[in-house]
A and B are shown apart, each in its own frame.
Chain A
Amino acid sequence: DSGVTQTPKHLITATGQRVTLRCSPRSGDLSVYWYQQSLDQGLQFLIQYYNGEERAKGNILERFSAQQFPDLHSELNLSSLELGDSALYFCASSPRGGSWETQYFGPGTRLLVL
């Protein structure tokens, strides 16, 4: 158990819909990262937050957005969903968000868009 929690574990929805994925970091960690893992693209970095502020951005689509709240939990919002958005979405956390730090991954949310 990494200490990072993600909900829900599974999500099935239809094209065009909007969903919200939630992540609670390890106790004391200030930085949260979001990743997408699909069969054809592998594990892709989406976005990073540190203490409520966006710190780094990766291959995140404009239909996707995220935020980190004062209690440090984070939400990833996916809108106008397409079939290709079906994937595993992972959240990870680290103490201060430095590139040298270990990132602890949550168990993931499996999203299926039908």
Chain B
Amino acid sequence: TQLLEQSPQFLSIQEGENLTVYCNSSSVFSSLQWYRQEPGEGPVLLVTVVTGGEVKKLKRLTFQFGDARKDSSLHITAAQPGDTGLYLCAGSNFGNEKLTFGTGTRLTIIP
């Protein structure tokens, strides 16, 4: 069974600070996705990374896929209250349509 552990589980920081969320596994994934989920809604895809070492930027969010494709990180610069939510990583392998979701990081940005 492939597992994805996210850390920290909870994070509460002040507006304007930087933060990093981690997603780790002992298994290799073909691709890794990051989602944000807000209360009362379903997860929304932020980014997909598929190449080991790949870095993608989405405005103030920077996503990195580990060289060995077993881990990933999400870095947010100058956090804003609108970044508040549950961040989920999810891994998949080619030929297997099942997504394995991480344990989640609940982020709260304090104005």
Contact = CB atoms under 8 A, between A and B. Distances in A.
Interface of A: 2, 4, 31, 33, 35, 42-45, 48, 55-56, 58, 90, 92, 97-100, 102-108
Interface in B71-110: 88, 92-104
Nearest to A92: B42
Contact of B31 (A58, A100, A104, A105): A100
Given A43-B88, A99-B31, A99-B95, A90 B100 contact: no
A48 to B, nearest CB: 6
A99 B63 CA distance: 20
27 contacts: A2-B44, A4-B42, A42-B101, A42-B104, A43-B101, A43-B104, A44-B101, A45-B98, A48-B98, A55-B97, A56-B96, A56-B98, A58-B98, A90-B43, A99-B31, A99-B92, A99-B93, A99-B99, A100-B92, A103-B45, A104-B45, A105-B43, A105-B44, A107-B40, A107-B42, A108-B40, A108-B42
A45 B99 contact: yes
User: Dominant SS at the B interface?
Assistant: strand
A108 B43 CA distance: 10
Contacts of A107: 40-42
A99 B41 contact: no
B interface, how many residues as a size bin?
20 to 34
B103 A42 contact: yes
A48 B92 CA distance: 14
A42 B86 CA distance: 11
Closest 3 CB pairs of A and B: A105-B42, A43-B101, A99-B92
Contacts of B96: 56, 99
Contacts of A98: 97
B51 interface: no
A56 to B, nearest CB: 5
Given A44-B101, A99-B30, A108 B41 contact: yes
